[in-house]
Chain A
Amino acid sequence: MAEPRDYNDPSDYSKDVSFPFLGLAKGMWVTLKALFTKPPVTMYPQEKEIPVPRARGVIALDVDNCTVCMLCARECPDWCIYIEGHKEEQPPSKPGGKPRARATLDRFDIDYSLCMYCGICVEVCPFDALYWSPEYEYSEEGVSDLLHNKEKLTEWLATVPQPPAVES
Protein backbone atom coordinates (compact mmCIF):
# COMPACT_ATOMS: atom_id res chain seq x y z
CA MET A 1 0.00 0.00 0.00
CA ALA A 2 1.16 3.45 -0.71
CA GLU A 3 1.26 5.58 2.36
CA PRO A 4 -1.48 8.13 2.90
CA ARG A 5 -0.68 11.33 1.14
CA ASP A 6 -0.63 14.69 2.67
CA TYR A 7 -3.07 16.89 0.94
CA ASN A 8 -2.28 20.45 0.25
CA ASP A 9 -4.22 23.08 2.05
CA PRO A 10 -7.46 24.24 0.48
CA SER A 11 -8.28 27.87 -0.10
CA ASP A 12 -5.87 29.45 -2.44
CA TYR A 13 -9.00 31.08 -3.69
CA SER A 14 -11.52 33.22 -1.95
CA LYS A 15 -15.26 32.94 -1.96
CA ASP A 16 -15.73 36.42 -0.57
CA VAL A 17 -16.13 39.50 -2.63
CA SER A 18 -13.06 41.55 -1.89
CA PHE A 19 -14.16 44.77 -3.51
CA PRO A 20 -17.73 45.27 -4.66
CA PHE A 21 -18.34 45.35 -8.40
CA LEU A 22 -14.63 44.97 -9.13
CA GLY A 23 -15.17 41.51 -10.62
CA LEU A 24 -18.04 42.76 -12.73
CA ALA A 25 -16.00 45.68 -13.97
CA LYS A 26 -13.04 43.44 -14.79
CA GLY A 27 -15.31 41.22 -16.85
CA MET A 28 -16.58 44.23 -18.76
CA TRP A 29 -13.02 45.30 -19.45
CA VAL A 30 -12.26 41.86 -20.91
CA THR A 31 -15.23 41.98 -23.26
CA LEU A 32 -14.48 45.56 -24.24
CA LYS A 33 -10.94 44.57 -25.16
CA ALA A 34 -12.30 41.63 -27.12
CA LEU A 35 -14.61 43.99 -29.02
CA PHE A 36 -11.58 45.75 -30.46
CA THR A 37 -9.51 42.65 -31.11
CA LYS A 38 -9.49 40.91 -34.43
CA PRO A 39 -11.43 37.69 -34.00
CA PRO A 40 -9.41 34.53 -34.69
CA VAL A 41 -11.97 33.22 -37.14
CA THR A 42 -11.40 31.15 -40.21
CA MET A 43 -14.08 32.09 -42.73
CA TYR A 44 -14.72 28.53 -43.70
CA PRO A 45 -15.95 28.17 -47.24
CA GLN A 46 -13.72 31.03 -48.48
CA GLU A 47 -10.61 30.14 -46.54
CA LYS A 48 -9.95 26.64 -45.38
CA GLU A 49 -8.03 25.32 -42.47
CA ILE A 50 -5.39 22.90 -43.52
CA PRO A 51 -5.82 19.79 -41.45
CA VAL A 52 -2.76 18.17 -39.92
CA PRO A 53 -1.23 15.44 -42.10
CA ARG A 54 -2.25 12.72 -39.70
CA ALA A 55 -5.88 13.80 -39.56
CA ARG A 56 -8.25 10.95 -40.19
CA GLY A 57 -10.47 12.45 -42.84
CA VAL A 58 -11.19 9.86 -45.43
CA ILE A 59 -9.65 6.56 -46.44
CA ALA A 60 -7.91 6.33 -49.79
CA LEU A 61 -7.45 3.06 -51.62
CA ASP A 62 -4.53 2.05 -53.76
CA VAL A 63 -6.13 -0.63 -55.91
CA ASP A 64 -2.84 -1.89 -57.28
CA ASN A 65 -1.64 -2.84 -53.83
CA CYS A 66 -4.79 -4.62 -52.75
CA THR A 67 -4.66 -8.40 -52.77
CA VAL A 68 -8.24 -8.91 -51.66
CA CYS A 69 -7.02 -10.50 -48.45
CA MET A 70 -10.13 -9.35 -46.59
CA LEU A 71 -8.16 -8.42 -43.49
CA CYS A 72 -9.60 -4.92 -43.32
CA ALA A 73 -13.16 -6.10 -43.82
CA ARG A 74 -12.71 -8.67 -41.10
CA GLU A 75 -11.10 -6.39 -38.57
CA CYS A 76 -13.52 -3.54 -39.12
CA PRO A 77 -15.54 -3.09 -35.91
CA ASP A 78 -18.47 -1.63 -37.78
CA TRP A 79 -18.56 -4.09 -40.63
CA CYS A 80 -18.62 -1.23 -43.07
CA ILE A 81 -16.12 -2.47 -45.66
CA TYR A 82 -17.48 -4.63 -48.44
CA ILE A 83 -15.04 -6.45 -50.67
CA GLU A 84 -15.60 -8.76 -53.57
CA GLY A 85 -12.99 -10.25 -55.83
CA HIS A 86 -12.17 -13.11 -58.06
CA LYS A 87 -9.11 -15.08 -58.97
CA GLU A 88 -7.43 -14.59 -62.26
CA GLU A 89 -4.79 -16.55 -64.06
CA GLN A 90 -1.66 -14.52 -64.36
CA PRO A 91 1.14 -15.21 -66.77
CA PRO A 92 4.19 -16.55 -64.97
CA SER A 93 6.43 -13.91 -63.55
CA LYS A 94 9.53 -15.63 -64.83
CA PRO A 95 9.68 -17.24 -68.22
CA GLY A 96 9.18 -20.94 -67.82
CA GLY A 97 7.54 -20.54 -64.41
CA LYS A 98 4.11 -21.73 -63.41
CA PRO A 99 1.12 -19.55 -64.19
CA ARG A 100 -0.15 -18.10 -60.89
CA ALA A 101 -3.59 -17.30 -59.64
CA ARG A 102 -3.95 -13.71 -58.61
CA ALA A 103 -6.90 -12.18 -56.82
CA THR A 104 -8.47 -9.20 -58.54
CA LEU A 105 -10.57 -6.65 -56.77
CA ASP A 106 -14.12 -6.29 -58.10
CA ARG A 107 -15.70 -4.29 -55.39
CA PHE A 108 -14.29 -2.27 -52.53
CA ASP A 109 -16.89 -0.17 -50.77
CA ILE A 110 -16.58 1.73 -47.55
CA ASP A 111 -19.83 2.89 -46.04
CA TYR A 112 -18.95 6.18 -44.38
CA SER A 113 -22.34 6.36 -42.73
CA LEU A 114 -21.20 3.44 -40.57
CA CYS A 115 -17.47 4.09 -40.39
CA MET A 116 -16.26 5.31 -37.03
CA TYR A 117 -12.87 6.47 -38.27
CA CYS A 118 -10.91 4.24 -35.94
CA GLY A 119 -8.25 3.45 -38.51
CA ILE A 120 -8.02 -0.24 -37.77
CA CYS A 121 -8.35 -1.14 -41.46
CA VAL A 122 -5.46 1.14 -42.40
CA GLU A 123 -3.40 -0.32 -39.62
CA VAL A 124 -3.99 -3.96 -40.39
CA CYS A 125 -3.49 -3.67 -44.13
CA PRO A 126 -0.30 -5.62 -44.80
CA PHE A 127 0.19 -4.31 -48.35
CA ASP A 128 -0.18 -0.54 -47.93
CA ALA A 129 -3.34 -0.42 -49.95
CA LEU A 130 -5.15 1.89 -47.55
CA TYR A 131 -4.11 5.39 -46.53
CA TRP A 132 -5.60 8.11 -44.43
CA SER A 133 -6.25 11.38 -46.18
CA PRO A 134 -7.10 14.53 -44.21
CA GLU A 135 -9.73 15.47 -46.78
CA TYR A 136 -13.02 16.17 -45.03
CA GLU A 137 -15.36 17.75 -47.57
CA TYR A 138 -17.45 14.88 -48.76
CA SER A 139 -20.79 15.38 -47.10
CA GLU A 140 -23.76 14.17 -49.09
CA GLU A 141 -27.45 14.84 -49.11
CA GLY A 142 -28.44 11.27 -48.47
CA VAL A 143 -27.01 8.65 -46.18
CA SER A 144 -26.81 6.14 -49.01
CA ASP A 145 -24.54 8.48 -50.98
CA LEU A 146 -21.90 8.08 -48.32
CA LEU A 147 -21.02 4.66 -49.67
CA HIS A 148 -17.76 5.25 -51.49
CA ASN A 149 -16.91 2.69 -54.11
CA LYS A 150 -13.57 1.60 -55.47
CA GLU A 151 -13.26 4.47 -57.97
CA LYS A 152 -14.16 7.13 -55.48
CA LEU A 153 -11.78 5.74 -52.88
CA THR A 154 -9.03 5.73 -55.46
CA GLU A 155 -9.63 9.41 -56.18
CA TRP A 156 -8.76 10.24 -52.60
CA LEU A 157 -5.30 8.85 -53.15
CA ALA A 158 -4.17 12.14 -54.65
CA THR A 159 -4.94 13.94 -51.40
CA VAL A 160 -2.79 11.71 -49.20
CA PRO A 161 -0.01 13.89 -47.77
CA GLN A 162 3.57 13.02 -47.09
CA PRO A 163 4.08 11.81 -43.55
CA PRO A 164 5.34 14.61 -41.33
CA ALA A 165 8.81 14.70 -39.89
CA VAL A 166 9.01 13.33 -36.38
CA GLU A 167 10.64 14.33 -33.15
CA SER A 168 13.51 12.13 -32.23
Chain B
Amino acid sequence: MTSLDMIHRSEAAVSVELQTPDMTLNIGPQHPSTHGVLRLVAKVDGERIQDVEPVIGYMHRGYEKLSEVRTYAQITALVNRIDWVSGFANEVPFIIGLEKLMGVEAPERAQWIRVILSELARISSHLVFMASYPLELGGTTPLMFALREREYILELIEEVTGGRFHPNFNRVGGVKPAYGGGSTTKKQSMDLPQGFFQRTSDAMDRMDTILDQLSELATGNEIIKMRTVDVGVIPGDKALEYGLTGPNLRASGVGYDLRKADPYLTYDQVEFDVPVGRDGDCYDRYMMRFLEIRESSKIVRQAIDKIPSGPLQAKVPRVLKAPAGQVYSRAENPKGEFGYFIVSEGGKMPYRLKIRSTSFSNLTILPWVLQGQLIPDLVAIMGSLDFVLGDVDR
Protein backbone atom coordinates (compact mmCIF):
# COMPACT_ATOMS: atom_id res chain seq x y z
CA MET B 1 0.00 0.00 0.00
CA THR B 2 1.44 3.29 -1.03
CA SER B 3 0.10 5.45 1.76
CA LEU B 4 1.89 3.48 4.38
CA ASP B 5 5.02 3.26 2.28
CA MET B 6 5.11 6.97 1.81
CA ILE B 7 5.17 7.78 5.47
CA HIS B 8 7.42 4.96 6.36
CA ARG B 9 10.93 6.27 6.09
CA SER B 10 12.10 9.27 7.99
CA GLU B 11 12.57 12.37 5.93
CA ALA B 12 12.44 14.58 8.92
CA ALA B 13 15.59 16.45 7.99
CA VAL B 14 14.95 20.12 8.37
CA SER B 15 15.88 21.97 5.21
CA VAL B 16 16.95 25.08 7.04
CA GLU B 17 20.01 24.15 9.06
CA LEU B 18 19.73 25.64 12.50
CA GLN B 19 22.86 25.94 14.53
CA THR B 20 21.93 24.09 17.67
CA PRO B 21 24.36 22.70 20.19
CA ASP B 22 24.31 18.94 20.54
CA MET B 23 22.69 17.52 23.58
CA THR B 24 24.20 14.57 25.38
CA LEU B 25 21.52 12.11 26.26
CA ASN B 26 22.38 9.44 28.76
CA ILE B 27 20.35 6.33 28.04
CA GLY B 28 20.58 3.77 30.76
CA PRO B 29 21.91 1.94 32.68
CA GLN B 30 18.40 2.13 34.09
CA HIS B 31 16.21 2.25 31.03
CA PRO B 32 13.30 0.08 29.96
CA SER B 33 14.77 -1.06 26.67
CA THR B 34 18.42 -1.66 27.43
CA HIS B 35 17.75 -5.24 28.53
CA GLY B 36 19.36 -4.74 31.87
CA VAL B 37 22.24 -2.46 32.45
CA LEU B 38 23.58 -1.22 29.17
CA ARG B 39 24.34 2.47 29.11
CA LEU B 40 24.48 4.53 25.94
CA VAL B 41 25.93 8.00 25.94
CA ALA B 42 24.34 9.50 22.89
CA LYS B 43 25.05 12.83 21.32
CA VAL B 44 21.78 13.92 19.84
CA ASP B 45 20.71 16.78 17.66
CA GLY B 46 17.01 16.90 18.34
CA GLU B 47 15.92 13.34 17.76
CA ARG B 48 18.83 12.43 15.53
CA ILE B 49 21.77 10.63 17.04
CA GLN B 50 25.13 12.01 16.00
CA ASP B 51 27.30 9.65 17.92
CA VAL B 52 26.79 6.99 20.49
CA GLU B 53 29.19 5.43 22.94
CA PRO B 54 27.98 2.27 24.64
CA VAL B 55 29.20 1.82 28.18
CA ILE B 56 29.12 -1.74 29.40
CA GLY B 57 30.48 -3.53 32.40
CA TYR B 58 27.72 -2.93 34.90
CA MET B 59 27.23 -6.65 35.05
CA HIS B 60 30.82 -7.72 34.65
CA ARG B 61 31.21 -10.78 36.84
CA GLY B 62 34.69 -11.74 35.74
CA TYR B 63 33.85 -15.22 34.52
CA GLU B 64 37.21 -15.63 32.83
CA LYS B 65 39.01 -14.98 36.09
CA LEU B 66 36.56 -17.05 38.11
CA SER B 67 37.08 -19.96 35.75
CA GLU B 68 40.75 -20.00 36.59
CA VAL B 69 39.98 -20.90 40.18
CA ARG B 70 37.28 -23.45 39.48
CA THR B 71 37.44 -27.06 38.53
CA TYR B 72 35.95 -28.12 35.23
CA ALA B 73 32.81 -29.48 36.88
CA GLN B 74 32.31 -26.18 38.66
CA ILE B 75 32.76 -24.22 35.45
CA THR B 76 29.94 -26.17 33.83
CA ALA B 77 27.67 -24.85 36.54
CA LEU B 78 28.98 -21.37 35.90
CA VAL B 79 28.78 -21.09 32.13
CA ASN B 80 25.03 -21.51 31.85
CA ARG B 81 24.74 -18.23 33.68
CA ILE B 82 26.49 -16.25 30.96
CA ASP B 83 23.49 -15.97 28.69
CA TRP B 84 20.71 -16.86 31.01
CA VAL B 85 17.89 -16.95 28.50
CA SER B 86 19.49 -19.94 26.82
CA GLY B 87 21.40 -21.55 29.63
CA PHE B 88 21.65 -25.00 28.17
CA ALA B 89 23.08 -23.79 24.88
CA ASN B 90 26.03 -22.24 26.70
CA GLU B 91 27.03 -25.49 28.31
CA VAL B 92 27.22 -27.37 25.04
CA PRO B 93 30.30 -25.77 23.45
CA PHE B 94 32.20 -25.87 26.72
CA ILE B 95 31.51 -29.51 27.28
CA ILE B 96 32.30 -30.37 23.66
CA GLY B 97 35.65 -28.63 23.98
CA LEU B 98 36.37 -30.39 27.24
CA GLU B 99 35.46 -33.75 25.76
CA LYS B 100 37.78 -33.07 22.83
CA LEU B 101 40.53 -32.18 25.25
CA MET B 102 40.04 -35.26 27.38
CA GLY B 103 39.45 -37.60 24.47
CA VAL B 104 36.03 -38.67 25.67
CA GLU B 105 33.03 -39.09 23.46
CA ALA B 106 29.54 -38.90 24.86
CA PRO B 107 27.19 -41.80 24.03
CA GLU B 108 24.80 -41.19 21.21
CA ARG B 109 21.72 -40.91 23.39
CA ALA B 110 23.36 -38.19 25.41
CA GLN B 111 24.23 -36.34 22.24
CA TRP B 112 20.65 -36.48 21.05
CA ILE B 113 19.43 -35.25 24.40
CA ARG B 114 21.83 -32.35 24.06
CA VAL B 115 20.39 -31.59 20.65
CA ILE B 116 16.83 -31.65 21.95
CA LEU B 117 17.60 -29.43 24.91
CA SER B 118 19.72 -27.05 22.84
CA GLU B 119 16.85 -26.56 20.46
CA LEU B 120 14.40 -26.10 23.31
CA ALA B 121 16.77 -23.49 24.68
CA ARG B 122 16.87 -21.86 21.26
CA ILE B 123 13.10 -21.75 21.10
CA SER B 124 12.85 -20.26 24.55
CA SER B 125 15.50 -17.68 23.78
CA HIS B 126 13.82 -16.67 20.54
CA LEU B 127 10.47 -16.50 22.31
CA VAL B 128 11.98 -13.99 24.69
CA PHE B 129 12.94 -11.98 21.64
CA MET B 130 9.49 -12.35 20.13
CA ALA B 131 8.16 -11.06 23.43
CA SER B 132 10.50 -8.18 24.07
CA TYR B 133 10.92 -6.81 20.58
CA PRO B 134 7.32 -5.73 19.99
CA LEU B 135 7.38 -4.33 23.51
CA GLU B 136 10.23 -2.07 22.52
CA LEU B 137 8.18 -0.91 19.58
CA GLY B 138 5.28 -0.22 21.93
CA GLY B 139 3.15 -3.33 21.49
CA THR B 140 2.64 -4.90 24.87
CA THR B 141 0.52 -7.92 24.09
CA PRO B 142 2.93 -10.22 22.20
CA LEU B 143 5.01 -10.16 25.37
CA MET B 144 2.43 -12.12 27.28
CA PHE B 145 1.67 -14.52 24.44
CA ALA B 146 5.31 -15.39 23.87
CA LEU B 147 6.34 -15.54 27.51
CA ARG B 148 3.42 -17.80 28.35
CA GLU B 149 4.57 -20.19 25.66
CA ARG B 150 8.15 -20.00 26.82
CA GLU B 151 6.98 -21.10 30.22
CA TYR B 152 5.86 -24.42 28.74
CA ILE B 153 9.26 -24.86 27.11
CA LEU B 154 11.07 -24.03 30.33
CA GLU B 155 8.93 -26.56 32.13
CA LEU B 156 10.15 -29.21 29.71
CA ILE B 157 13.75 -28.23 30.34
CA GLU B 158 13.18 -28.23 34.08
CA GLU B 159 11.52 -31.61 33.96
CA VAL B 160 14.69 -33.12 32.53
CA THR B 161 17.44 -31.11 34.11
CA GLY B 162 15.95 -29.78 37.32
CA GLY B 163 16.59 -26.16 36.42
CA ARG B 164 14.53 -23.80 34.31
CA PHE B 165 17.28 -21.36 33.48
CA HIS B 166 20.43 -23.02 34.72
CA PRO B 167 20.25 -26.68 33.79
CA ASN B 168 23.82 -27.69 34.68
CA PHE B 169 22.98 -30.92 32.93
CA ASN B 170 26.07 -31.57 30.85
CA ARG B 171 28.88 -33.64 32.25
CA VAL B 172 32.06 -34.63 30.54
CA GLY B 173 31.07 -37.71 28.61
CA GLY B 174 27.34 -37.39 28.93
CA VAL B 175 24.39 -35.78 30.60
CA LYS B 176 23.15 -36.16 34.14
CA PRO B 177 20.88 -34.31 36.49
CA ALA B 178 22.02 -33.76 40.02
CA TYR B 179 19.35 -35.77 41.71
CA GLY B 180 19.45 -36.84 45.29
CA GLY B 181 18.41 -40.29 46.35
CA GLY B 182 19.86 -43.63 47.16
CA SER B 183 22.69 -44.78 44.97
CA THR B 184 20.32 -46.97 43.03
CA THR B 185 17.69 -44.29 42.47
CA LYS B 186 20.41 -41.86 41.50
CA LYS B 187 21.34 -44.17 38.69
CA GLN B 188 17.76 -44.85 37.69
CA SER B 189 16.68 -41.27 37.60
CA MET B 190 19.34 -40.13 35.23
CA ASP B 191 17.37 -40.63 32.06
CA LEU B 192 14.60 -38.52 30.62
CA PRO B 193 11.42 -38.63 32.66
CA GLN B 194 8.63 -40.80 31.38
CA GLY B 195 6.32 -39.12 28.91
CA PHE B 196 8.85 -36.45 28.07
CA PHE B 197 8.80 -37.18 24.35
CA GLN B 198 5.02 -37.03 24.24
CA ARG B 199 4.91 -33.77 26.14
CA THR B 200 7.64 -32.30 23.97
CA SER B 201 5.95 -33.12 20.72
CA ASP B 202 2.70 -31.74 22.15
CA ALA B 203 4.55 -28.56 22.99
CA MET B 204 5.89 -28.39 19.45
CA ASP B 205 2.35 -28.72 18.10
CA ARG B 206 1.21 -25.93 20.37
CA MET B 207 4.16 -23.89 19.17
CA ASP B 208 2.69 -23.80 15.68
CA THR B 209 -0.51 -22.27 17.02
CA ILE B 210 1.28 -19.68 19.06
CA LEU B 211 3.48 -18.77 16.12
CA ASP B 212 0.37 -18.14 14.04
CA GLN B 213 -0.98 -15.94 16.79
CA LEU B 214 2.29 -14.07 17.07
CA SER B 215 2.45 -13.58 13.36
CA GLU B 216 -1.05 -12.15 13.37
CA LEU B 217 -0.22 -9.92 16.30
CA ALA B 218 3.20 -8.75 15.31
CA THR B 219 4.83 -10.15 12.20
CA GLY B 220 2.18 -9.09 9.75
CA ASN B 221 1.44 -5.89 11.56
CA GLU B 222 1.77 -2.81 9.35
CA ILE B 223 3.13 -0.68 12.16
CA ILE B 224 5.83 -3.24 12.95
CA LYS B 225 6.79 -3.22 9.29
CA MET B 226 6.84 0.56 9.18
CA ARG B 227 9.08 0.63 12.20
CA THR B 228 11.52 -2.07 11.14
CA VAL B 229 11.77 -2.41 7.36
CA ASP B 230 14.89 -0.63 6.09
CA VAL B 231 15.77 0.48 9.59
CA GLY B 232 19.24 -0.25 10.91
CA VAL B 233 20.58 -1.92 7.78
CA ILE B 234 23.75 -3.91 8.38
CA PRO B 235 25.38 -5.07 5.14
CA GLY B 236 27.00 -8.50 5.11
CA ASP B 237 30.61 -7.31 4.98
CA LYS B 238 30.10 -4.99 7.93
CA ALA B 239 28.48 -7.81 9.85
CA LEU B 240 31.52 -10.01 9.21
CA GLU B 241 33.91 -7.25 10.13
CA TYR B 242 32.23 -6.73 13.46
CA GLY B 243 31.99 -10.43 14.17
CA LEU B 244 28.23 -10.69 14.09
CA THR B 245 27.00 -14.26 14.11
CA GLY B 246 23.77 -16.12 14.38
CA PRO B 247 20.47 -14.62 13.23
CA ASN B 248 22.03 -11.15 13.07
CA LEU B 249 24.58 -12.32 10.50
CA ARG B 250 22.11 -14.45 8.58
CA ALA B 251 19.72 -11.51 8.33
CA SER B 252 22.46 -9.72 6.40
CA GLY B 253 22.44 -12.45 3.79
CA VAL B 254 25.35 -14.56 5.03
CA GLY B 255 23.95 -18.01 5.62
CA TYR B 256 26.46 -19.09 8.21
CA ASP B 257 25.13 -21.53 10.74
CA LEU B 258 27.52 -23.72 12.67
CA ARG B 259 24.96 -26.49 12.84
CA LYS B 260 25.40 -26.79 9.08
CA ALA B 261 28.87 -25.36 8.49
CA ASP B 262 30.63 -27.26 11.25
CA PRO B 263 28.18 -29.88 12.48
CA TYR B 264 28.58 -30.86 16.10
CA LEU B 265 26.60 -33.29 18.24
CA THR B 266 24.22 -35.05 15.86
CA TYR B 267 23.12 -32.05 13.86
CA ASP B 268 24.37 -33.72 10.67
CA GLN B 269 21.67 -36.36 11.07
CA VAL B 270 18.69 -34.02 11.13
CA GLU B 271 17.19 -32.07 8.31
CA PHE B 272 16.40 -28.44 8.69
CA ASP B 273 16.66 -25.19 6.79
CA VAL B 274 18.61 -22.19 7.79
CA PRO B 275 16.59 -19.04 7.17
CA VAL B 276 18.68 -16.38 5.46
CA GLY B 277 17.68 -12.77 5.07
CA ARG B 278 18.54 -10.30 2.38
CA ASP B 279 18.83 -6.71 3.50
CA GLY B 280 20.00 -6.97 7.08
CA ASP B 281 17.39 -4.60 8.43
CA CYS B 282 15.51 -4.93 11.69
CA TYR B 283 12.64 -6.79 10.06
CA ASP B 284 15.01 -9.38 8.61
CA ARG B 285 16.57 -9.91 12.00
CA TYR B 286 13.13 -10.25 13.52
CA MET B 287 12.02 -12.75 10.89
CA MET B 288 15.18 -14.83 11.23
CA ARG B 289 14.24 -15.66 14.78
CA PHE B 290 10.62 -16.13 13.92
CA LEU B 291 11.48 -18.67 11.23
CA GLU B 292 14.15 -20.36 13.32
CA ILE B 293 11.60 -21.33 15.93
CA ARG B 294 9.85 -23.38 13.26
CA GLU B 295 13.12 -24.99 12.21
CA SER B 296 14.02 -25.77 15.79
CA SER B 297 10.72 -27.45 16.40
CA LYS B 298 11.37 -29.49 13.25
CA ILE B 299 14.71 -30.58 14.69
CA VAL B 300 13.17 -31.49 18.02
CA ARG B 301 10.53 -33.63 16.32
CA GLN B 302 13.16 -35.46 14.28
CA ALA B 303 15.34 -35.95 17.33
CA ILE B 304 12.46 -37.50 19.23
CA ASP B 305 12.05 -39.99 16.40
CA LYS B 306 15.71 -40.75 16.02
CA ILE B 307 16.94 -40.88 19.59
CA PRO B 308 18.32 -44.35 20.40
CA SER B 309 18.24 -45.94 23.79
CA GLY B 310 21.46 -46.64 25.53
CA PRO B 311 23.77 -45.29 28.17
CA LEU B 312 23.89 -41.61 28.98
CA GLN B 313 27.37 -41.42 30.31
CA ALA B 314 30.73 -42.53 29.00
CA LYS B 315 33.35 -43.74 31.40
CA VAL B 316 35.35 -40.86 32.78
CA PRO B 317 37.82 -40.66 35.66
CA ARG B 318 36.39 -39.50 38.95
CA VAL B 319 38.66 -36.53 39.22
CA LEU B 320 38.49 -34.56 36.02
CA LYS B 321 41.92 -33.62 34.79
CA ALA B 322 42.38 -32.35 31.27
CA PRO B 323 45.69 -32.97 29.53
CA ALA B 324 47.75 -29.97 28.55
CA GLY B 325 46.61 -28.39 25.35
CA GLN B 326 44.63 -25.61 23.80
CA VAL B 327 41.27 -26.16 22.24
CA TYR B 328 38.71 -23.85 20.75
CA SER B 329 35.20 -25.20 20.59
CA ARG B 330 32.15 -23.42 19.38
CA ALA B 331 28.48 -24.05 18.90
CA GLU B 332 25.50 -22.27 17.45
CA ASN B 333 23.96 -20.56 20.42
CA PRO B 334 20.50 -19.02 19.84
CA LYS B 335 22.25 -15.69 19.48
CA GLY B 336 25.15 -16.90 17.36
CA GLU B 337 28.54 -18.49 17.65
CA PHE B 338 29.37 -19.23 21.24
CA GLY B 339 32.91 -20.39 21.80
CA TYR B 340 35.30 -21.35 24.52
CA PHE B 341 39.05 -21.29 24.14
CA ILE B 342 40.32 -23.61 26.84
CA VAL B 343 43.99 -23.49 27.72
CA SER B 344 44.85 -26.41 29.93
CA GLU B 345 48.14 -27.05 31.63
CA GLY B 346 47.16 -30.49 32.79
CA GLY B 347 45.48 -29.61 36.06
CA LYS B 348 41.98 -29.75 37.46
CA MET B 349 41.39 -26.16 36.50
CA PRO B 350 41.99 -24.42 33.19
CA TYR B 351 45.00 -22.14 32.95
CA ARG B 352 42.95 -19.70 30.94
CA LEU B 353 39.42 -19.79 29.61
CA LYS B 354 38.50 -17.30 26.94
CA ILE B 355 34.77 -17.04 26.54
CA ARG B 356 33.70 -15.85 23.12
CA SER B 357 30.28 -14.69 24.07
CA THR B 358 27.91 -13.94 21.27
CA SER B 359 26.19 -10.84 22.49
CA PHE B 360 29.49 -9.07 23.13
CA SER B 361 30.52 -9.42 19.50
CA ASN B 362 27.01 -8.64 18.29
CA LEU B 363 27.00 -5.46 20.32
CA THR B 364 30.31 -4.11 18.98
CA ILE B 365 28.51 -2.93 15.87
CA LEU B 366 26.19 -0.71 17.89
CA PRO B 367 28.16 2.56 17.57
CA TRP B 368 28.48 2.04 13.83
CA VAL B 369 24.89 1.15 13.12
CA LEU B 370 23.36 3.79 15.38
CA GLN B 371 25.08 6.74 13.77
CA GLY B 372 22.57 9.12 12.26
CA GLN B 373 19.54 7.19 13.43
CA LEU B 374 16.57 8.56 15.31
CA ILE B 375 15.98 7.88 18.98
CA PRO B 376 12.97 5.61 18.31
CA ASP B 377 15.09 3.69 15.80
CA LEU B 378 17.82 3.33 18.39
CA VAL B 379 15.41 1.30 20.44
CA ALA B 380 14.28 -0.70 17.43
CA ILE B 381 17.84 -1.48 16.31
CA MET B 382 19.12 -2.27 19.76
CA GLY B 383 16.24 -4.61 20.36
CA SER B 384 16.71 -6.34 17.01
CA LEU B 385 20.29 -7.29 17.89
CA ASP B 386 18.86 -9.42 20.72
CA PHE B 387 21.61 -9.24 23.28
CA VAL B 388 21.66 -10.26 26.90
CA LEU B 389 23.75 -8.12 29.17
CA GLY B 390 25.07 -11.10 31.08
CA ASP B 391 26.39 -12.36 27.78
CA VAL B 392 27.93 -9.00 26.93
CA ASP B 393 29.67 -8.40 30.22
CA ARG B 394 30.42 -12.00 31.18
Contact = CB atoms under 8 A, between A and B. Distances in A.
Direct A–B touching, Cβ under 8 Å: yes
B316 interface: no
Interface stretch (A15-23, A80-88, A139-147): A15-23
Contacts of B278: 10-11
Contacts of A34: 141, 145
B67 to A, nearest CB: 10
A94 interface: no
A10 B276 contact: yes
Contacts of A163: 179, 181, 185, 188-189
Contact residues on A (Cβ < 8 Å of other chain), bracket: 35 or more
Contact residues on B (Cβ < 8 Å of other chain), bracket: 35 or more
Contacts of B181: 128, 131, 160, 163
Contacts of B74: 75, 77, 118, 120
A5 B221 contact: no
Contact of A30 (B77, B192, B216): B216
B260 interface: yes
B178 A118 contact: yes
A9 B71 CA distance: 45
Nearest to B165: A117
A interface, over-half SS:
loop
12 contacts: A8-B273, A15-B283, A29-B216, A30-B213, A118-B166, A119-B77, A119-B179, A120-B74, A128-B186, A130-B180, A132-B162, A166-B190
Given A7-B274, A27-B220, A31-B217, 9 more contacts: A5-B255, A5-B261, A9-B276, A23-B225, A54-B189, A60-B180, A77-B78, A132-B180, A167-B192
Interface of B: 1, 3-5, 70-71, 73-74, 77-78, 81, 141, 145, 148, 155, 158-163, 166, 168, 176-183, 185-186, 188-197, 213, 216-225, 229, 253, 255, 260-263, 273-278, 283, 287, 290-291, 309
